[in-house]
Amino acid sequence: MIAHTILAALSAKLLDRVVITTDDVEIAEVSRQFGAETPFMRPAELAADETLAEPVIEHALRWLEDNEDYRPDYVMLLQPTSPLRTSEDIDNSIKIAVENDADGVVSLCEPKHHPYLVKRLGDQGEIVDFVPLDRSYKRRQDLPPAYGLTGAVYMVKREIMLEQKTFYTDRTFPYIMPVERSVDIDTPWDLALAELMMEGRADSAAN
């Protein structure tokens, strides 16, 4: 998964650098083999299971500034759990940011289950709407557009991350990705699906 993300990033035309943040020596070595930079090792206190992305990105930005005097306009987080993301997705996200002078860009896709169709169980075990509605929708086509996070692209201005420690402001724009490139690997089933789709992509390229 790391290799797929690194190769997509290196193939992007609009990225200046591809830097890996990790506390794992083996991951760092594999990353270098595929062409990414590993100028530092992530501190152990930022490598726990519950660690959020924002402090990890902040550490990387401050290390690059303090040690290399490097201050990028934007930083993009590319999680390896989204291996179907392409270099075009990366470049298109950057174009959206530049064209709109956006504070950030985050990738979205249409969800499999529209939130208006999602249900929950009531106090007596009955099925009730998760989102209470003031009208009913007979057809899915009539539902208002809805989008979910893909996990593939998170992009933000450097100063926003350092000062506000977030990817989201009222100037964060969406990059809408197709569902077939939006698999976010959280379970063995997600991994099997991603592998199947990558095999199909490889077969198509070979033909």
- Predicted pLDDT at 206: 62
The pTM of the full predicted model, rounded to 2 decimals, is 0.89
Q: Which CATH superfamily is domain 2-109+147-206 in?
A: Spore Coat Polysaccharide Biosynthesis Protein SpsA; Chain A (3.90.550.10)
Site of tokens 């199909």: 200
Kind and range of the H or E run holding 135: none
Confidence check: pLDDT of 207 > 70: no
For β-strands 104-109 and 172-176, DSSP reports them as parallel
Could you read off the pLDDT of 4-25 as tens digits, one per residue? 999 999 999 999 999 999 999 9
Nearest of 82, 54, 63, 83 to residue 17 by alpha carbon? 63
Could you read off the pLDDT of 31-86 as tens digits, one per residue? 999 999 999 999 999 999 899 999 999 999 999 999 999 999 999 999 999 999 99
**Sign (positive/negative) of CA torsion 160, 165, 167, 169?**
negative
Q: In this structure, what token pair is assigned to residue 51?
A: 């660690």
DSSP H helix total and E strand total for the chain: 6, 6
Strand partners, 156: 75, 104
Could you read off the pLDDT of 163-199 as tens digits, one per residue? 999 999 999 999 999 998 998 888 888 888 888 887 7
Distance CA 29, CA 32 (A): 5
Q: How far is CA 58 from CA 35, 64, 74, 163, 176, in A?
A: 23, 10, 12, 9, 26
Nearest of 34, 46, 37, 44 to residue 70 by alpha carbon? 37
Tell me the percentage of the chain whose pLDDT exceeds 90.
78
- Reduced to 3 states (helix: H, G, I; strand: E, B; else coil), residue 86 is coil
Q: What is the mean pLDDT of the chain?
A: 93
Site of tokens 């208002």: 144
Domain with CATH 3.90.550.10 in the chain: 2-109+147-206
- Please give the full DSSP string across 20-35, using - where no structure is assigned: ---S-HHHHHHHHHTT
Distance of CA 146 to the CA centre of its chain: 18
